[in-house]
Amino acid sequence: MKIPEEKFARSPEHTLGVEWEIALVDPQTWDLVPRGAELIEKVNAASPESHLEKEFLQNTVELVTGICHTVPEAIADLSSSLAPVRAAAEEMGVRLWSSGGHPFTDFRKNPVSDKASYSEIINRTQYWGKQMLLWGTHVHVGISHEDRVWPIINALMTKYPHLLAISACSPGWEGLDTGYASNRTMLYQQLPTAGLPYQFENWAQWQSYIRDQAISGVINHTGSMHFDIRPASKWGTIEVRISDAASNLRELSAIVALTHCLVVHYDRMIDRGETLPILQPWHVAENKWRAARYGMEALVITSRETDERWITEELEDLLIELEPLSRELGCADELQLVREIIAGGAGYERQRACYNETGSWREVVARTSREMDTLLPLESSPQVGDKDS
């Protein structure tokens, strides 16, 4: 059996691409509605320049930027695509909503999109695959050579909790407050091809791994590996998939800016001949869990000697360290928006505060949906009086 060798396309610049998953909800019940394909058809007819993709679930559309060079360019691209999407949704009588996970929907009532690889995932994973009512933010950054890919990915995993804490927005599940900041993170890793990547030392090890997965049939069945950070060889990028789907463009721009700066920062370290950071796999796994559980209140492991710091302190120092680079990359303003999240709370904190205020997960979805209209994080303010289980 001849297996094609995994080849990395190489990107001469640190180009940027962003994928933002958005769901459709009913404005009366605030439950999910499986009309993503219909919306995409409407948008394609009215605004063919917009780039939308079908996603795993029929209730979801994915906004995809073109190849961008700066964070403001990528956010402007998404904002431009969002306008016709919002217009189509209004015409259809549905609302746009984005978050890491829906807090009360029944997974049995949310069909998968018509795509062979999606159906095969469900056939293979059964109960766990059917629960993947999850939405994420995916950020691609161009890398010049495959030899740099895995050192940078391993370094990025030392900042896993930083990217997750500021983006976490999935505390509710099946009508319950899970106690987690990002329940999406815990659910998604149940897929056999998802979760933390192995700490490959070089590209040859990754090629060997992909070859093994192809021979064993894993990739044929699932389409690809769904690691939290992975090489996107076709595009010559590293794809960072840690973050929950942002509920508004302002926080999304902060997440994208931090991601872009971190990748370029580690790539520059290679240029300078410096040793990139790496943590033991068990520390990376523990940090992932702590950020998923505690979000902005996580105490994270910062060194191979098992030193610990509060994630907010880590983020403050990281913003100072990356500030000169952010100016060079044209995303200084967007990077500093991370401070707004530190001061005002991440999405999961707004959602939890709303539920504690109103006892209504429907109101949580309603308010989160309004963030898609304002493109800003909303303060908690009661609107709906009904109580949910």
The CATH number of the domain holding residue 240 is 3.30.590.20
Backbone conformation region of residue 32, classed left if phi is above 0, alpha if psi is from -120 to 50, else beta: beta
Nearest to 103 by CA among 369, 376, 361: 361
HSE of 102 in the Cβ direction (CA atoms, 13 Å)? Answer: 28
Beta bridge partners of 304: none
10 lies in a domain?
no
Token digits for 66? 């073109």
Q: At what angle do helices 160-167 and 311-329 cross, to 10 degrees?
A: 90
Burial state string for 277-294 with b = 16 or more CB within 10 A and e = fewer than 16: bbbeeebbbbbbbbbbbb
191 lies in a domain?
yes
Q: Does residue 22 or residue 112 have the better pLDDT?
A: 22
Beta bridge partners of 53: 62
- Positive or negative torsion for Cα 308, 310, 315, 320: negative
386 lies in a domain?
no
User: How far apart are alpha carbons 60 and 249 in whole angstroms?
Assistant: 17
Q: Flag the least confident range among 53-57, 322-326, 347-351.
A: 53-57
User: How far apart are alpha carbons 107 and 99 in whole angstroms?
Assistant: 16
Query: Tens digits of per-residue pLDDT, 29-43?
Result: 999 999 999 999 999
Token digits for 94? 């549905």
The pTM for the full model equals 0.93
Token digits for 73? 């360019």
- Positive or negative torsion for Cα 170, 172, 173, 178: positive
User: How far apart are alpha carbons 275 and 287 in whole angstroms?
Assistant: 21
302 lies in a domain?
yes
User: How far apart are alpha carbons 22 and 47 in whole angstroms?
Assistant: 18
Q: Which pLDDT score, from 0 to 100, does residue 159 have?
A: 98
Query: Tens digits of per-residue pLDDT, 187-220?
Result: 999 888 889 999 999 999 999 999 999 888 887 6
- Residue type (1 letter), 183: N
197 lies in a domain?
yes
Its domain, for residue 97, covers 16-373
Query: Tens digits of per-residue pLDDT, 159-177?
Result: 999 999 999 999 999 999 9
H-helix or E-strand spanning residue 24:
strand 16-25
Q: How many domains does the chain have?
A: 1
User: How far apart are alpha carbons 381 and 228 in whole angstroms?
Assistant: 34
User: How far apart are alpha carbons 223 and 358 in whole angstroms?
Assistant: 42
Q: Which pLDDT score, from 0 to 100, does residue 132 have?
A: 72
Nearest to 359 by CA among 385, 339, 341: 385
119 lies in a domain?
yes
HSE of 48 in the Cβ direction (CA atoms, 13 Å)? Answer: 1
User: How far apart are alpha carbons 112 and 118 in whole angstroms?
Assistant: 7
pLDDT beyond 60 at 225? yes
User: How far apart are alpha carbons 131 and 5 in whole angstroms?
Assistant: 33
- Residue type (1 letter), 70: T
Query: Tens digits of per-residue pLDDT, 226-241?
Result: 899 999 999 999 999 9
Query: Tens digits of per-residue pLDDT, 362-389?
Result: 999 999 999 998 878 987 433 433 444 3
Q: Which pLDDT score, from 0 to 100, does residue 113 have?
A: 62
DSSP code for 159: G
User: How far apart are alpha carbons 282 and 151 in whole angstroms?
Assistant: 18
- Residue type (1 letter), 109: K
- For the purposes of burial, counting CB atoms within 10 Å of the CB of 346, is it exposed (0-12), middle (13-18) or buried (19 or more)? buried
Strand 194-195 and strand 226-227: pairing?
parallel
288 lies in a domain?
yes
379 lies in a domain?
no
User: How far apart are alpha carbons 78 and 188 in whole angstroms?
Assistant: 25
